[in-house]
Structure 1
Amino acid sequence: MNLHRLLLQRQARGWPVRVAVIGAGKFGSMFLHQAPRTPGLHVLGIADLSLPRARAALARIHWAPEAGAAPDAATAARTGATWLTEDSLALIEDPHVEVVVEATGDAAAGLRHAHHAIRHGKHVVMVNVEADVLAGPVLAREAAAAGVVYSMAYGDQPALVAELVDTIRAAGFAVVAAGKGTKYLPAYHASTPETVWDFYGLTADQAAAGGMNPRMFNSFLDGTKSGIEMAAIANATGLAPPEDGLAFPPAGTGDLPELLRPQDEGGILPRKGMVEVVSSLRRDGTVIPDNLRWGVFVVFEGETDYARRCFAEYGVATDRAGRYAALWRPYHFIGLELGVSVASAALRGEATGCAERWAADCVAVAKRDLRVGEVLDGEGGAMVWGRCIPAARSVALGAVPIGLAQGVALARAVPAGALLTEADLAPRAADGAEALALRAAMRSLREA
Structure 2
Amino acid sequence: MSLHTQLQRRAAAGKPIRVGLIGAGKFGSMYLAQVPPTPGVHLAGIADLSPANARANLARVGWEPARTEAASLDAALQAGSTHVGEDWQALVRHPAIDVIVECTGHPIAAVDHCLEAFANGKHVVNVTVEADAFCGPLLARRAAEAGVVYSLAFGDQPALICDLVDWARTCGFPVVAAGRGHKWLPHFCESTPETVWGYYGLTPEQAQRGGLNPKMFNSFLDGSKPSIESTAVANATGLGVPSDGLLYPPASIEDIPFVTRPRSEGGVLERKGMVEVISSLEADGRRIPYDIRMGVWVTVEGETEYIRNCFEEYNAHTDPSGRYFTLYKRWHLIGLEVGLSVASVALRGEATGVAAGWQADVVATAKRDLQPGELLDGEGGYTVWGKLLPADRSLRMGGLPLGLAHGIKIVRPVARGQSLTWADVAMDTGTRAWQLRRDMEELFAPGRLKAA
Q: CA deviation at 1:438?
A: 0.6
Residues 341-380 of structure 1 mapped to structure 2, 5 A cutoff = 341-380=341-380
Between 1:157-166 and 1:202-211, the stretch displaced more is: 202-211
Q: Paired residue for 1:199?
A: 199
Q: Paired residue for 1:66?
A: 66
1:167 partner letter: W
Q: Paired residue for 1:429?
A: 428
Q: CA deviation at 1:198?
A: 2.5
Q: Check whether the contact 1:235–1:355 (CA below 8 A) recurs between aligned residues.
A: yes
Matched, 1:443 2:441: yes
Q: CA deviation at 1:197?
A: 2.2
1:440 partner letter: R
What SS does the corresponding residue of 1:36 show, helix, strand or coil?
coil
Residues 113-128 of structure 1 mapped to structure 2, 5 A cutoff = 113-128=113-128
Q: Paired residue for 1:257?
A: 257
What SS does the corresponding residue of 1:364 show, helix, strand or coil?
strand
CA distance in 1, matches of 2:61, 2:409: 40
Q: Check whether the contact 1:241–1:388 (CA below 8 A) recurs between aligned residues.
A: yes
Matched, 1:18 2:3: no
Q: CA deviation at 1:142?
A: 1.3
Q: Check whether the contact 2:108–2:431 (CA below 8 A) recurs between aligned residues.
A: no
Q: Paired residue for 1:27?
A: 27
CA distance in 2, matches of 1:201, 1:328: 23
Q: Check whether the contact 2:174–2:300 (CA below 8 A) recurs between aligned residues.
A: yes
Q: Paired residue for 1:318?
A: 318
Q: Paired residue for 2:296?
A: 296
CA distance in 2, matches of 1:202, 1:174: 39
2:397 partner letter: L
Q: Paired residue for 2:383?
A: 383
Q: CA deviation at 1:206?
A: 5.4
Q: Check whether the contact 1:370–1:416 (CA below 8 A) recurs between aligned residues.
A: yes
CA distance in 1, matches of 2:273, 2:42: 40
CA distance in 2, matches of 1:341, 1:26: 18
Q: CA deviation at 1:224?
A: 0.5
Root-mean-square deviation (CA), in Å? 1.1
Distance 1:15 1:203, change over 3 A: closer
Q: Paired residue for 2:449?
A: none
CA distance in 2, matches of 1:355, 1:399: 20
Q: Paired residue for 1:268?
A: 268
CA distance in 2, matches of 1:317, 1:429: 51
2:88 partner letter: S
What SS does the corresponding residue of 2:364 show, helix, strand or coil?
strand
CA distance in 1, matches of 2:41, 2:195: 41
CA distance in 2, matches of 1:57, 1:105: 16
2:428 partner letter: A
What SS does the corresponding residue of 2:247 show, helix, strand or coil?
coil
Q: Paired residue for 2:100?
A: 100
CA distance in 2, matches of 1:47, 1:297: 34
Q: Check whether the contact 1:115–1:139 (CA below 8 A) recurs between aligned residues.
A: yes
Q: Which runs of 5+ in 1 are unaligned?
A: none
CA displacement, residues 151-207 of structure 1 (integer Å, 9 cap, x when unaligned): 010011000000000000000110000000011111101111112222135554653
CA displacement, residues 397-431 of structure 1 (integer Å, 9 cap, x when unaligned): 000111011111111000011100111112x335x
Q: Which runs of 5+ in 2 are unaligned?
A: 447-452
What SS does the corresponding residue of 2:101 show, helix, strand or coil?
strand
Q: Paired residue for 2:177?
A: 177
Q: CA deviation at 1:442?
A: 1.3
CA displacement, residues 54-90 of structure 1 (integer Å, 9 cap, x when unaligned): 1111010011111111122222111100011100011
Q: Paired residue for 1:399?
A: 399
What SS does the corresponding residue of 2:145 show, helix, strand or coil?
helix
CA distance in 1, matches of 2:94, 2:238: 35
Q: Paired residue for 2:239?
A: 239
1:219 partner letter: S
Q: Check whether the contact 1:240–1:359 (CA below 8 A) recurs between aligned residues.
A: yes
Q: CA deviation at 1:211?
A: 2.3
Under a length normalisation based on structure 2, what TM-score does the superposition of the two structures give? 0.97
CA displacement, residues 276-305 of structure 1 (integer Å, 9 cap, x when unaligned): 000111011111111001100000100111
CA distance in 1, matches of 2:266, 2:106: 41
Q: CA deviation at 1:121?
A: 0.3
CA distance in 2, matches of 1:167, 1:207: 36
Q: Paired residue for 1:143?
A: 143
Q: CA deviation at 1:210?
A: 4.1
Aligned length: 446
2:328 partner letter: W
CA distance in 2, matches of 1:21, 1:329: 27
Q: Paired residue for 2:450?
A: none
Distance 1:19 1:289, change over 3 A: same
What SS does the corresponding residue of 2:376 show, helix, strand or coil?
strand
Quick one: percent identity of the two aligned structures?
A: 56
Q: Paired residue for 2:339?
A: 339
Q: Paired residue for 2:164?
A: 164
Q: CA deviation at 1:104?
A: 0.2
CA displacement, residues 228-285 of structure 1 (integer Å, 9 cap, x when unaligned): 0000000000001101000011011111111101111111100000000001110111
Under a length normalisation based on structure 1, what TM-score does the superposition of the two structures give? 0.98
Matched, 1:8 2:8: yes
Q: Check whether the contact 1:175–1:300 (CA below 8 A) recurs between aligned residues.
A: yes
Q: Paired residue for 1:130?
A: 130
CA displacement, residues 126-158 of structure 1 (integer Å, 9 cap, x when unaligned): 000001112111111111121111001001100
